[in-house]
A and B are shown apart, each in its own frame.
Chain A
Amino acid sequence: DTGVSQDPRHKITKRGQNVTFRCDPISEHNRLYWYRQTLGQGPEFLTYFQNEAQLEKSRLLSDRFSAERPKGSFSTLEIQRTEQGDSAMYLCASSLPDRYTFGSGTRLTVV
């Protein structure tokens, strides 16, 4: 069990650019979640995968956001045409039912 890995740890991008984040979950976990956290707030749910199927998406996930989990392994979260309001920590978690393990997150700063 090597934990949940996220890459990169930090990303600074100019407004309007596209960015992609990667999450490698714990291999035995078939559930994978993406959350977004802004300063002083708790994480907010973005989307959920069970194996390779994306089964739930929050209304926070605008059309500029897309997530994939090919073959039920790693997952990517892409943000197109970034805006300053996208600046946040993006957290990935994998779980057996109700036993969550979070990654260290990707801190995105849009300038």
Chain B
Amino acid sequence: KQEVTQIPAALSVPEGENLVLNCSFTDSAIYNLQWFRQDPGKGLTSLLLIQSSQREQTSGRLNASLDKSSGRSTLYIAASQPGDSATYLCAVPSGSARQLTFGSGTQLTVLP
């Protein structure tokens, strides 16, 4: 059974700092890995999707990497802003339905 772990559970940084969020998964036979953002009381917004054949994906100030063999992914946020404050979740699809297995998320606070 796939298990996804995210470290740290919470992170507080001053504005402008670069930061890294970590995600690990137990079963390396994955199709892809996705990073989502969730604002308090809201649904999830897809940030980046990395296919299993890719090593990284970039979107603006966000860069996600994937190392299938070690069962790890990182989300790098450059020049953080207060608007980046949210919970960041990673997820991998599994099963015949390709349903997502999520980590518990990292709650990020960027202080002005």
With A98-B49, A98-B93, A99-B49 known to touch, is A43 a contact of B98 (CB < 8 Å)?
Answer: no
Q: What string of 1s and 0s marks CB contacts (under 8 Å) between A24-54 and chain B?
A: 0000000101010000111111001000000
The answer to whether B66 has its CB under 8 Å from any CB of chain A is no
**A4, A33, A43, A107 interface centre (most CB from chain B within 10 Å):** A43
- Tell me what chain B mostly uses at the interface: helix, strand, loop, or mixed: strand
Question: Within 8 Å of chain A (Cβ to Cβ): is B32?
Answer: yes
Asked if A98 and B31 sit within 8 Å, CB to CB, the answer is yes
- Determine if B44 is an interface residue (Cβ-Cβ < 8 Å): yes
A42 touches B34 (CB 8 A): no
> Are B97 and A105 in contact, with the CB atoms below 8 A?
no
Residues of B within 8 A of A (CB-CB), count:
26
Contacts of A45 in B (CB 8 A): 97, 99-101
Question: Is the beta-carbon distance between A42 and B99 smaller than 8 angstroms?
Answer: no
> Which residues of chain B have C-beta atoms less than 8 A from A103's C-beta?
43
CB neighbours (8 Å) of B99 from chain A are 33, 45, 48, 56, 58
On whether A102 and B43 interact (CB within 8 A), knowing A42-B91, A48-B97, the answer reads yes
Contact of A56 among B34, B97, B101 (CB under 8 A): B97
Would B104 and A41 count as touching, CB distance under 8 A? yes
Q: How many residues of A contact B (CB 8 A)?
A: 28
Q: Is the CB of A56 within 8 A of B104?
A: no
Q: Does B95 contact A (CB under 8 A)?
A: yes
- Distance A98 CA – B46 CA, assembled complex (angstroms): 11
Contacts of B97 in A (CB 8 A): 33, 45, 48, 55-56
Bound Cα distance A103, B45 (Å)? 9
Among residues of B, the one whose C-beta sits closest to the C-beta of A41 is B104
Top 8 A-B pairs, shortest CB-CB distance: A42-B102, A48-B97, A56-B97, A45-B99, A102-B44, A102-B43, A104-B43, A105-B43
